[in-house]
Structure 1
Amino acid sequence: MTHQRNPLRKGASAMSTLAIAHRGARAFAPENTLVAFEKAHALGCDMFELDVHLSKDGVPVVHHDDQLDRCTNVRSRLSRKGESFLSDYTWDELQTLDVGSWFVEQLSIPADQRQPFLESLKPTEIGQFITREELNYFASGDVRIPSLEQVLEFVKRTGTLVNIELKNLPRMYPGLAEVVMQLVISQGLESQVLISSFDHTLLLEIRQQSSVVATAVLTSNRLAKPVEYLRRLDADAYHPGCYGHCDSLGFSSVSGRLDARGIAELREAGYGVNVWTCNDKPQMRQLVAVGVTGLVSDYPNRVCEVLSESSTTAAS
């Protein structure tokens, strides 16, 4: 079978900066849901990012946390004592959970009491990007955790790019890389997929199964020799964090200076550099200026605005 070249593979092109929606456009819809991915697509994002776990019966499901409390009604719906690990529930059980109402509840409280990523959400952004009809749907109890298969069907239908993060730690799901790749290959989407993980052993497993899918090294720590490390893994991109305790680029350092040299070395070697999770427009501008290939953001509208500014400046 002849595969189309994956534009996210190392050295594929002189890539301009991509707008990447973190867990979908999660500032404007419940994260990691089909409605969040649809919102990202409607906003004109180049790619969206999602997270994958395995259910108790081995179904790859799209959810960020390894436990269910933050974004679902698991306590009232399935009321089990102790920890609410996603992997302790079957796919059918997970499909009974409401993953939309929490988001509407967050928007109803003062900004400084919300989950951190929603604290900077502006009333003007709410008015521009979230309709009353959407809020009613989010609060209806009908928004569900999607399977990876359902999301890949959306990817195939729209032709968008997708970053699949394998959430293997701390649960260490047996066969996670293999089952995800089976779905990607069966849908014919190898050339539209970038797979990332903090568990870098899985990137080796992915590469053994496909020479077309792109892979990325996720990290919240500085790597001593990132170019050499990516080469050893046959990876295509470096995904460093850029905020708070996850900042490995220098924004939170004593000097506050961005590590532009490290980014330049990776780019010169042909690797992508996609930075997460950047919601601050001044930081976005700095990152675009030093040549990152992607900005992963909860607010992809802000990324698109910065990229539009950048292209206008370059053209003038």
Structure 2
Amino acid sequence: MLVTHDNWPYPRWIAHRGAGKLAPENTLAAFRLGASHGYRMFECDVKLSADGVPFLMHDDTLPRTTNAREVLGAGQSAVGGDHPWGELAQLDAGSWHSRTYAGEPLPTLDNIASYCLRNSFYLNIEIKPTPGQDAQTGEVVANEAARLWQGADVPPLLTSFKPDALEAAQAAQPQLPRGLLLDTLWTGWLETALRLECVAIVCNHALWDTSSVTQAKSAGFRTLSYTVNDEWAAQRLIELGTDGIITDRVDLFAPWTR
């Protein structure tokens, strides 16, 4: 389907990095935990390995969420994108969180797509390039998403803080829906989203107020927020009429009752 402002299939509640902080972020284990709390849409970060494999990771570097120093050696680059997938696939991406998840691997976009498609879940893919690889990452992620979701009822929503990444995704697979991520309302944000033919603006939740929501909606955009972990903040966004809430607190917000 073609996702537009008027043809918007995604639910309001979106689980951040799978299950927020309750499981190791950006892993299949986190997705499964988020699903157990009733979530049907997930957000994740995708970047490229040195040999061009899209995989899930938020940080530019590996040590916070993997045992890279132990496996790859102290003398090796800490940047995830500097390593081929064969090396990254050997890493433990769960032990840093808790012993329960020891041995949890880094997933590829292919792994996550298979899980989501088999369970009729929706996905928000944040294109998270290694510095200097904005356009390459946008192109590869868009092409892979188009391949993996070919024939699916609902495509993934591609978002990024990097306009160059979104522009490359737009050029590669213009039919896939895009959203511009914002941590400030920098000069030209609305014009940039229009130029990139985005369907959504995804803001730090504190940036949404009556004025910014009106601007975005008047220009034809859906309005989403990250990362919303307090009831008062969620209620404020609902009262403002925004469309999507990305949260770590899958244990606090029950999407089937709100």
TM-score (norm 2): 0.90
**What are the residue-to-residue correspondences of 1:92-241 with 2, within 5 Å?**
92-104=86-98, 136=100, 138-139=101-102, 142-168=103-129, 170-172=131-133, 175-187=136-148, 188=150, 189=152, 191-224=154-187, 226-241=189-204
Equivalent residues of 1:17, 1:295 under 8 A apart: no
Secondary structure at the residue paired with 2:214? Answer: helix
Report the equivalent of 2:2. 5
Q: CA deviation at 1:83?
A: 4.7
Task: Give the counterpart letter for 2:195 in structure 1.
Answer: R
- In 1: Cα distance, 2:145 partner to 2:183 partner: 27
- Structure 2, gaps ≥5 residues long: none
**What are the residue-to-residue correspondences of 1:31-70 with 2, within 5 Å?**
31-70=25-64
Question: Which stretches of structure 1, 4 residues or longer, exceed 6 Å deviation after superposition?
Answer: none
Q: Give the number of the structure whose alpha-carbon radius of gyration is greater.
A: 1
- In 1: Cα distance, 2:11 partner to 2:94 partner: 31
Whether 1:288 aligns to 2:238 is yes
2:207 to 236, 248, 255: 248
Q: CA deviation at 1:48?
A: 0.6
RMSD: 2.2
- Structure number with higher helix proportion: 1
- Structure 1, gaps ≥5 residues long: 105-134, 250-258, 312-316
Report the equivalent of 1:87. 81
Q: State how many pairs are aligned.
A: 256
Secondary structure at the residue paired with 2:43? Answer: strand
1:141-193 alpha-carbon deviations (Å, 9 max, x no partner):
x2000111111111211121111111125242562222222222222158321
Secondary structure at the residue paired with 1:67? Answer: coil
Report the equivalent of 1:265. 215
Equivalent residues of 2:134, 2:162 under 8 A apart: no
- In 2: Cα distance, 1:215 partner to 1:240 partner: 14
Q: CA deviation at 1:217?
A: 0.5
Report the more deviating stretch, 160-169 or 290-299. 160-169
Secondary structure at the residue paired with 2:253? Answer: helix
